[in-house]
Amino acid sequence: MSKIIAWLILIFIVLFALRMIGLRNARKRRAETPPNDKSGAPMVRCIRCGVFLPRADAAKVSGGYACADGQCVPR
């Protein structure tokens, strides 16, 4: 009977160790992914008015990005 209990404890320890290794790998993977991965489009900040907008909608100006549609783009 004590042999069965010892085996059960051993199995539990092995399962616990595997779970810990899996958790550590998942946490490492999550830390490696960039924070902008969820939205897809990288956000930039307009240097004129400070509004955040997708980089595809922004105009590249000297020193950073500006709103492409508004009065922020220097002409």
By the criterion CB under 5 A, which residues form the site for Zn ion?
46, 48-49, 67, 72
Q: Which is nearer to Zn ion, 48 or 61 (CB)?
A: 48
Q: In angstroms, what is the minimal distance from the CB of 39 to Zn ion?
A: 19
Q: What whole-number distance in Å separates Cα of residue 52 and Cα of residue 66?
A: 9
Q: What whole-number distance in Å separates Cα of residue 32 and Cα of residue 4?
A: 42
Q: What whole-number distance in Å separates Cα of residue 29 and Cα of residue 10?
A: 29
Q: Which is nearer to Zn ion, 12 or 57 (CB)?
A: 57
Q: Which is nearer to Zn ion, 19 or 55 (CB)?
A: 55
